[in-house]
Amino acid sequence: MSIDWPRIGYAALTLFIVINYGMIMTALVRKIGARVSGRYGIRIYQNYIDLVKNIALRSKITHGVMYYLGPVFRLTGGVGLLLFVPTIYGSAMWSNFSFAGDLVLALYFVFFGTLGMALGAAESGHPYSAIGITRGLSQVTVAELPLALAVFAISLQYQTLNITDIVAAQQGGIFNWTLFTNPVATLAALFAFVGTMMRSPFDVVIAPQEIPIGPPTEYHSSYLALMQTNRVLFPIAKTVIYMNLFFGGATNWFEFAIKVFAIYMISVLVGVVHPRFRVEQSITFFLKWGLPVGVLAILLV
């Protein structure tokens, strides 16, 4: 079996571009949130400084093997999600490793990192790690329900589970986007989107208003660097999925940057104007609003 080295090279370049885009975007979003609160905010290049600093650190703390594999699984979810979906439609260079039925694999990757972190937290030794695991798995599971139903609806609509084919069906004008051809499925997916981006009011897992704040205090040195890398990569990778499924995809990198930024800002806008939910409030919200809309999307199709 021959190895397709050019495709591997372009996939690695895609990963490099998206990580740097995510580093800058994440810093910009934090700065926007700070300005809304009347603060100056971090420097745009602060993420690079933090990443290099954590990579250079070493620790003598010892935990179980799964504790160290947690951040690796988390990053694998982000990398896999990005590399197995097309980044730029119509380009052989930037189609990555997408294939027929890749939409099913993408849904698995969305959940993969959370499961890895749950297994890692179980070996952290922290007395309240079970609380964090319960919060994380409960919210992610219930938030993914509207997305799964929306994906089911559009797969019936387009009669395919191939992301490239779904993007192809949306070409020819803005009114061919799923946003306009199936607005109910798009709304259901957006419920899931704001719920899985870990911003207010759905940041019940990291819980920045509480001490300790979960994984960022439990992990250290290079393991924290892996988590930082995933925190800039995974949200962009998820946004790429939404862009491809509901907003017509992107045919060049400029369109990619504009669309990803615009979709990403939906969660930012919700986050800066709403306080954090309690866990039971978050779960009730998705069961009360997201789940019925997802069911309605399937019924309409």
Long-range contacts of the stretch 121-127 (C-beta < 8 A, 24+): 121/70, 121/215, 121/218, 122/66, 123/63, 123/64, 123/65, 123/66, 123/67, 124/63, 124/67, 124/218, 125/63, 126/212, 126/218
For the chain, domain boundaries: 5-300
- DSSP string over 117-149: HHHHHHTS--TTHHHHHHHHHHHHHHHHHHHHH
Q: How many CB atoms lie within 10 A of CB 115?
A: 17
pLDDT at 209 over 70: no
Indicate yes or no: pTM above 0.85: yes
254-279 pLDDT, tens digit per residue, is 999 999 999 999 988 888 778 778 88
94-134 pLDDT, tens digit per residue, is 888 887 778 888 888 888 877 777 777 777 777 777 777 77
pLDDT for position 207: 61
Alpha helices in the chain (DSSP H): 5-36, 46-56, 65-83, 102-122, 129-158, 163-169, 178-181, 183-196, 215-218, 221-246, 253-273, 279-285, 291-300
Q: Phi and psi at residue 10, in whole multiples of 5°? A: -65, -35
Find the largest Cα–Cα distance for the chain: 58
CA distances from 142 to 60, 89, 233 (A): 38, 31, 23
In one-letter notation, the amino acid at residue 299 is L
Specify the DSSP element, H or E, that contains 16.
Answer: helix 5-36
Predicted confidence band at 16 (pLDDT cuts at 50, 70, 90)?
very high
68-98 pLDDT, tens digit per residue, is 888 888 888 889 888 888 899 988 888 888 8
133-186 pLDDT, tens digit per residue, is 777 788 888 888 899 999 999 999 999 999 999 999 999 889 999 999 999 999
